[in-house]
Structures are given as structure tokens and as C-alpha cells.
Structure 1
């Protein structure tokens, strides 16, 4: 078994997208380990990639929303970390990471709902999407990421 303490955190950028009604975009995960849970767009940061550009890239890749449809309102004041549960250590991300170190951005959606395209990513990461009240986020996310989503909400509450 892999010792989690010996593994680094995976660098990750996330995007909290809010619409004109101050509701937050969430997508329902397709992958089996998180099936039935919802999350905001997020993903790995490429080596040398700017944090903001990584967050916008992930938004575009996962839900088809380009930077022309988003007004970035706020960026991260700090990195947020979470650890994978023991049963996932050594299994996800080819066993190279113990969890993620995430940098979150907040942006206002300037487009129409029809601009959202879950097929933009091949294969898709989400099988459904919806707009939700911000306070519902922690109960929709897979439990081991719940504290991170609570921290994202605290970080951006004044801007939503």
C-alpha cells in the first residue's frame, strides 16, 4: 500500500460560475467513484500554466463555456487542500497524488443556458447540470471534498 504522506498534492484549478440570479453551476459526475455527486468545473493545472488560464481552460473543456462568456470576479486568496480517502490512494490519478491543492476562481456567466455544452469534453465529465443555491453546494459534493466547498463558499460569499 502507498503511504499517503509520501505523495504530493495534485495542482488543480476550479471555477465557481454564477448566473444573473446568483445561482451556481454544478455538473453531475459521470465517473463511477463519484457517480451521483455534483461538482463545479475543476481540473489539473498543466506545468507552467497560469492559475487563471487553467481555471478558464477547465471551464471551457468541461462545459463548453469560453472566456468570452465569463466575467472573472475574484481569484484565490490561498490554496485549498483535500486528501483522498484511504481507499482511493494509489488508485486515482495513476496513484501519483494524495489529494488536490486547489485554486478557485469566481465568475459571472454572461451567456445563455444554451451555451453550456457537456459534450465539449471527450469523454464528457458530467451527464447533467443545473443551477443551485450556493448554500446547497456542500451537500451535493462527494463527502471528502465537502470542507473544501465550504471554504470556497466562505471565500466568495461577498461576491456572489
Structure 2
């Protein structure tokens, strides 16, 4: 009998620039602990915290602002397993179970990666067709699934 996998509850933000909907460009950031690993901001959901509360907290902690408007929420949870190189660091979890939000930066919102505990060293806004040139390999299937949902729903 196989042991059941343990997934860390997590929230992820697909951030569109303040130029949305006139211009659709996505925020991606490069992690400071894995060279060349680009991703959307994400983070764990604390005990007793709702996914929406975690979303705002994580954005403030990771990119220095929670000045966003929620456009849409992915209807379910998606999960992925950590690759071996990350699994040891994330023990006792085997992967993450994520709730995705599509958000827009409010006009005038200031991104600041030099937070109390920086996770990213660089960020950029890219059009949809360039996202997967940057995103780290093990997150691509989840990102494709979630982004395709938001495309089909007419948000992007």
C-alpha cells in the first residue's frame, strides 16, 4: 500500500499589469535561491487563513505591494509534486496544492522586491506568448492549465 502524498496549501497570483485590459502583460519574477527559475508569486496558506487573505499577505511579503484588484479565481485547486532538488527543502510536503487568482495591479502600485525576506531578485512583465520561455520546467503544466482556463473564460 502506498503512502498518501502530503500537499502544502498554497496560493498563487497571476498578476497583470495596471495597463490591463488594454494591454495584457504578466508579472514573472526570478527566484533568488534557484538560478533562472522564474515564476508567479505564491506562498503558503497559514492555519486559519483564507486563500484570499493569504493572497494579499503573500503579495505584500514577496513583491512589496498588495495593491491589486482580483479579476477572477480558478474554480478548483491544482497540485504538483516537488522535483527531487526541492523536495528535501520542503519536507514534510511532497508538493503543493494551489488556489490561483488572476489579479491586476492597481494604477500607481509600486513593486519592491527588497522585502523583509526577499524571494526574488528580478521581475519583468511579459506577453502571454513569452511566459513559457522563462517559467521553470516543473510549473509549466500547472501554469498552462490555469492560464488556458482564464483564456477560455475571456479574461486574457
The two structures share one fold, judged by TM-score above 0.5: yes
Partner of 1:74: 72
Q: Structure 2: where are the runs of 5+ without partners? A: none
CA drift of 1:22 comes to: 1.3
Partner of 1:29: 31
CA drift of 1:123 comes to: 2.3
Hey, what's the Cα distance between the residues in 2 that align with 1:71 and 1:87? 35
- Please point out which of 117, 128, 134 is paired with 2:128: 134
- Whether the 8 Å CA contact 1:7–1:96 is kept in 2: the answer is no
CA drift of 1:128 comes to: 0.5
Hey, what's the Cα distance between the residues in 1 that align with 2:134 and 2:143? 10
Partner of 2:12: 14
| TM-score normalised by the chain length of structure 1 | 0.85
CA deviations 1:107-154 (Å, max 9, x no partner) are 1111336x000012x221010110011232233222111101111211
| TM-score normalised by the chain length of structure 2 | 0.87
Hey, what's the Cα distance between the residues in 2 that align with 1:154 and 1:5? 32
Q: Structure 1: where are the runs of 5+ without partners? A: none
- Whether the 8 Å CA contact 1:138–1:147 is kept in 2: the answer is no
CA drift of 1:77 comes to: 0.5
Partner of 1:117: 112
Hey, what's the Cα distance between the residues in 2 that align with 1:53 and 1:111? 21
> How many residue pairs end up in the alignment?
149
- Compute the RMSD of aligned alpha carbons: 1.7
CA deviations 1:36-94 (Å, max 9, x no partner) are 1211110000011111111121111100112xx211110120111111123443x122x
